[in-house]
Structure 1
Amino acid sequence: MAVKDIRSRLLEALEAEAAAHGADIVDVEVAGASKAPVVRVRVDRAEPGEPVSLDEVASHNGWVGDVVEALDPFPGSYTLEVSSPGLDRPLRRPADFERFVGEPVQVRMAGHGGRRTFTGTLMGLQGDDVVVECDDGTHALPLADVQSAKLRPVF
């Protein structure tokens, strides 16, 4: 099975269980060699507010491990890492782009008017477009063409 398919199956199964545990599955990543794969699951609080604590992340290890094990995505062993989303939290769902309106973001596109990267302030969604206000103006970027998007921490 392709890594993309494994990631999709894991994401779907974890999202189905997350609400019952007060969690939000931010992202799932499958990395490493096929002989030693690593499954990285980033979790956050279901409700916006304070960042998720290390104790909260640790409390999610059990049920996340059970869900991954039930799917048995790899023929041999694998490493499971459960962590917080970090300061540069990935944005992938429409709800993420609404939740973090006003925050600094970086959006990478497959190509949009000859440009791939847009860094600025997230203005939210307009229809199926992610709206980002950059130094050179406001850009409406088709959500379907977004390759990656993440918060950009300001120090």
Structure 2
Amino acid sequence: MLTRKEETLLEALEPAATQAGIEIVTVEVAGAKKAPTIKVYIDTPSGVGFDQLAAAQKWIGAIMDDIDPFPGAYTLEVSSPGIDRPLRTPEHFTKFAGEDVLITCRGPVSGRSKWTGVLRGFQDGSVIVEAEGESVSIPLEDIKRARVKGKIDFNA
């Protein structure tokens, strides 16, 4: 699910995040190769507030400066995962079972590369999704991107 560069950045950040009681939900590198944007999504059991984001921005920025992942310019964004939370680990797929999800695969799985359905969990190295009345097992290594499908109830 992560590129080699994203995996390297995640590995560099995780020890400090663990010490701070923060989960690095995922890391994304986007944009131009000469001046990319590094997006770091963080969370805690009680959610993420502005003060936590500001503090995390400082230590994440310091780690990025030390490893200099992209010589030259890059932009760092630190944010909460939001309502369309990225899913990356077996624990994420277990925790968010019952939620609507959007999954993009690296190639076709059961004839399709994109799946929208209800997440049923994680079993034997695969994500289980109920889509269009059928249960589909998608191997974790075949998933390019997975997110909770955000819902907003304007009547609440």
TM-score band, normalised by shorter chain:
0.7 to 0.9
Q: Distance in 2 between matches of 1:55 and 1:36?
A: 27
SS in 2 for 1:117: strand
In structure 1, the residue matched to 2:121 is 124
Deviation, 1:143, is 1.1
For 1:118 and 1:33, the matched residues in 2 are separated by 28
1:71 maps to which residue? 67
- Residue 135 of structure 1 is aligned with which of 132, 144, 150? 132
Correspondence for 1:12? 11
Amino acid at match of 1:44: D
* 1:113 corresponding residue in structure 2: 110
TM-score normalised by the chain length of structure 1: 0.87
Residues 5 and 138 of structure 1: CA distance in aligned 2, closer, same or farther (over 3 Å): closer
1:153 aligns with 2:139: no
Deviation at 1:22, TM superposition (A): 1.3
SS in 1 for 2:128: strand
Q: Note the residue ranges of structure 2 that are not aligned, 5 or more in a row.
A: none
Query: CA-to-partner distance for each residue in 1:43-90, whole Å, 9 max, x for gaps?
Result: 111x3xx43223322221111111111111122232211111111111
Supply the distance in 2 between the matched residues of 1:34 and 1:133 (Cα, whole angstroms). 37
Sequence identity (%): 44
